[in-house]
Structure 1
């Protein structure tokens, strides 16, 4: 006879085996939610660049690179042909106007100067001798005129006396003697007048000779001055006070007349010339403030001139320096210039993100307070500079955004930063 078996109930663990599995799944989902949030993409923190939104005055600047240049400069050139014999200054030396920088040598010029000096001495001696001789001749002529006048007047007195005797009917004067006396008076008068004319001609001749001698003397003196100037031109001097910027000559070098030998600049007259892109120069006007960065100091300046020409897409802007010049300031020093074209008061701005054009609405990733996640927000941008961009809406002061390239995960609305 068969015995009836009573079925044993299944253990609880077998009957509800799925409950732990479900619990683990729920726990995993919970933990995952706590860890991942709504993020659907992971990014490495060390590959991200962050920036905080700031509030304040937002300066719109146009940037340009350039150099410092002197307004006051002068090349000193060789005024005569010669070989460099002495160099009395070096680049970087301070000089005053008229100070010697170099001395040239030219034996031919020195010989020519000496020759003209001797020629001038000889001409002066000759002119002096000729003047003495003419003065002696003039004295002889003056004596001859006086003697002829005396003879005439003596003859005239005799004629007058004989005429008086004849008029009174006294004496035994014959008519023949009277006629002879009249003839003698006429002859003496003619001789007197001839001597006067001869003296006048001699005076004219003396004056003409004197003019010729003076002209010859002036010609030689002019040649002497030219020779002295040429010899003086062998000394190269500073045209202005300042610093020797360039000295492109060396000992023994042959220089031609007019060849540049030394450039002297006034370091106190430095200004900045910066090159601005032609698409940005439209915002630049006269008088705008400028910050000049020398890499060691920042100087203040203002726009003084804008070139009307564009070269290779760049426009030269001349900036006057207002600040005191620092020690490193020198001609041709590379600098950066930042021209302030606009200053927006009390606005939001942030360091410019990658691929964030001005006056556009873009998607930017803002980090959470704990920095573990970044979520996408629609942000309206305003005007911009090379480094910063204005925030019109979508962010608040203190918000932190990702400014590095986010194009690889731009389709995700939230990312996990790890």
Structure 2
């Protein structure tokens, strides 16, 4: 077989020309793309972007240490009846909201109500006895008896005076023995009448006198006390909530006996919660009662609340050498629940008159921190070193950031060094 060399050369030439055309097209495309990219970059540099900034200033900053705690209610009251009895009805369940004075449960008071009826009957009887003792007809008898006694006293006095006069006259012989005997008879009769009037008066006074009235009044008071005592016992069989709060436990059932020494219902006040933490002696001197602190809920929500140091124990625990600190949390909105785990942030170190910036202004690249500022209308990317920090601010220890610098607070990752920007109002 015979090959045509001229045809092979022609095919190779065509292939080389095709490859050359492809290379030329690629070079032209790259140059066009590069030109457009540079043009776009130049346009971006010349384009002005609005940014938000804050002014850097000298200030104070405190670093924080978090202490774990469990939220507990301000009040947690275990409620038991004052007297033991069989549970008749339960009016609440766990998680119910209750107000002060609201009925929680009642005990069976049927036997006490029977006793109350008896005491009331006795009271009614004693009231009648007192009324009878103070009756007006008996009082009139006292008046009449007293008048009779007074009249008998006058008659007696006259008879006595006459008899004594007759004795003296008889001794001188001025009157006869018969006259003396007659005067003696009148005197004796007057004395008998006086004694009878006195006895009658005393008898009537005993019926309506102060002593009888006092006895009747005392008996009435005793009967009233009996009624009041039973009413108090019946009232104690109705158990109410001493505070406004939420029922956290119900430990009784209808029909069982509830004793006075065992908690039947527990009510808590969730509006004010407390976190109790143990603070070491080297840090307790840095806090004080009334100081505001941050409390963070240790869950996925990471909710925070403002807390106030309520108490600090005056002495350290003998074993741990730490101080018990009680932090009060305002929970009026009900965001937090008793039993939630929390973290209390306390200051551990404080520096004054230093440069600080908000934490969100620092961006890290490969472990290196940068702060973006606005200088003469352009972005400047500043490498920074940091000192102490807390949940909001960080100390800047490097000289790249100074007081009155405008620090960009958001969107830094989309900005380029030297890019034109405008500070938004």
Q: Assess same fold via TM > 0.5.
A: yes
User: Given the alignment, which residue of 218, 225, 240 partners 2:243?
Assistant: 240
User: Is 1:249 aligned to 2:259, yes or no?
Assistant: no
Q: How far apart are 1:232 and its partner, in Å?
A: 0.7
Match of 1:302 among 308, 318, 328: 308
DSSP-derived class of the 1:267 partner: strand
Distance 1:287 1:149, change over 3 A: closer
How does 1:322-333 map onto structure 2 within 5 Å?
A: 325-333=332-340
> 1:184 is matched with which residue: 176, 183, 186?
186
CA shift at 1:83, angstroms?
1.5
TM-score (norm 1): 0.57
Q: Distance in 2 between matches of 1:368 and 1:177?
A: 145
1:221 matched residue in structure 2? 224
Q: Deviation of residue 367 (structure 1)?
A: 7.2
Offset, 1:390: 7.8
Cα deviation 1:115-168 (Å, max 9, x = unaligned): 322333333344545555x964x655654453455466578889999x9xxx9x
* Aligned partners of 1:63 and 1:276 also within 8 Å: no
Q: Does 1:318 align with 2:318?
A: no
Is the alpha carbon distance of 1:297 and 1:348 closer, same or farther for their aligned partners in structure 2, counting shifts above 3 Å? Answer: closer
Cα distance change on mapping 1:147 and 1:245 into 2, 3 Å: same
Output aligned runs, 1:120-199, within 5 Å. 120-129=123-132, 136=138, 139-140=140-141, 142-147=143-148, 149-150=150-151, 176=178, 179-181=181-183, 183-185=185-187, 187-189=189-191, 191-192=193-194, 195-196=197-198, 199=201
CA 135–245 in structure 1, closer or farther in 2 if over 3 Å, else same: farther
Residue 111 (str. 1) matches residue 114 (str. 2): yes
Match of 2:346 among 321, 339, 352: 339
Shift, 1:185, TM fit: 4.6
Aligned length: 311
- CA shift, 1:303, in A, is 1.9
How far residue 103 of structure 1 moved from its aligned partner, in angstroms, is: 1.1
Encode CA deviations 1:301-358: one digit per residue, 9 max, x unaligned. Answer: 2322113343767643222336x644322333322111234443326999xxxxxxxx
Question: How is 1:11-30 mapped onto 2 (pairs within 5 angstroms)?
Answer: none
Aligned mates of 2:186, 2:225 — CA distance in 1:
56
CA shift at 1:237, angstroms? Answer: 0.9
> 2: distance between equivalents of 1:277 and 1:129?
76
Residues 220 and 152 of structure 1, relative CA distance in 2, 3 Å threshold = closer
1:113–1:224 contact (8 Å) kept in structure 2: yes
- CA drift at 1:290: 0.8
Distance 1:257 1:367 in 2: 67
Structure 2 CA distance for partners of 1:239 and 1:155, relative to 1, 3 Å: closer
Residues in 1 aligned to 2:341 and 2:114: alpha-carbon distance in whole angstroms: 50
SS at 1:231 equivalent: helix
Separation in 1 of the partners of 2:112 and 2:71? 42
Q: Once the 2 structures are TM-superposed, how far is the Cα of residue 105 of structure 1 from its aligned partner?
A: 0.9
2:97 to 94, 99, 105: 94
**Aligned mates of 2:113, 2:154 — CA distance in 1:** 64
Deviations 1:20-50 (A, max 9, x none): xxxxxxxxxxxxxxxxxxxxxxxxxxxxxxx
1:413 aligns with none
